[in-house]
Structure 1
């Protein structure tokens, strides 16, 4: 078999793999959002360097937890989750410098305090209103500050 045919077969196989991966991402997102309560949510995993460490993802409210899924992962399980009673809203700010290019357009950065330390999330203003309402709607007897 000539070399050009092998290269063409390899390119075709690579294209099929990329298409299958893309289709799997779409199916995963539909499965995650079928019960509602999902929204675009970025999470800052590393805060050592200013403006760096952001990962795009999806957020989903699941009872008393906020679950975070990486956007380009095929895993059906959340990468991180935070309990409502262990998450305190401390403020918000607009993206600065390189953060504007790392995050979805028009997202606001939210700072929270959890048992593990500071948590920075980025979400749309409408999602922020839902997030604050979710924190405030904690069951009676739990202390949250919003």
Structure 2
């Protein structure tokens, strides 16, 4: 009888944990301005270290919340005033196994260093618009933002 009680408690605890994770996700999405995104947390192994989550736009910040976490605070906060997109590329190698094929990887520069963000192609347009809509920068403070477009052909 004790085994049955213990297994019942474990099942209830598991359901409570799953409910808490999905309830937290729903709370993050209530205010709008959220996107599905993956951020590369670890760069030790090439193509690995991606963490799925939600990106939440709040003012001049993009807050990254991990998908399967109970934390209220974001894992990473990116300030658009100091964020520069340096490269846009499709997923390559092992990355193709961890994210959908229509996603794009953006390599960004922040004052703390480089960060890679992956999101759907359709979301990239909105992300770049949000980035460009930021307040004007002090001319001597940071480099200008990279503008994407067709690269000129080298001869």
Question: Normalising by structure 1, what TM-score?
Answer: 0.89
SS at match of 2:93: coil
1:46-57, aligned counterparts within 5 Å?
A: 46-57=42-53
Query: How many Å separate the matches in 2 of 1:104 and 1:80?
Result: 22
Q: Does 1:93 align with 2:94?
A: no
Offset at residue 49 of structure 1 (A):
1.6
SS at match of 2:70: coil
Aligned-pair Cα RMSD in Å: 1.5
Q: Which runs of 5+ in 1 are unaligned?
A: none
Q: Does 1:11 align with 2:7?
A: yes
1:109-128, aligned counterparts within 5 Å?
A: 109-128=105-124
Match of 1:73 in 2: 69
Query: How many Å separate the matches in 1 of 2:74 and 2:34?
Result: 12
Q: Which runs of 5+ in 2 are unaligned?
A: 139-143, 148-155
Query: How many Å separate the matches in 2 of 1:22 and 1:106?
Result: 28
Cα pair 1:52 1:98 within 8 Å, conserved: yes
Number of aligned residues: 142
Query: How many Å separate the matches in 1 of 2:97 and 2:10?
Result: 29
SS at match of 1:77: coil
Query: How many Å separate the matches in 2 of 1:38 and 1:18?
Result: 27
Offset at residue 118 of structure 1 (A):
1.1
Q: Assess, with a 3 A threshold, how the Cα gap between structure 1 residues 101 and 11 changes in structure 2: closer, same or farther.
A: farther
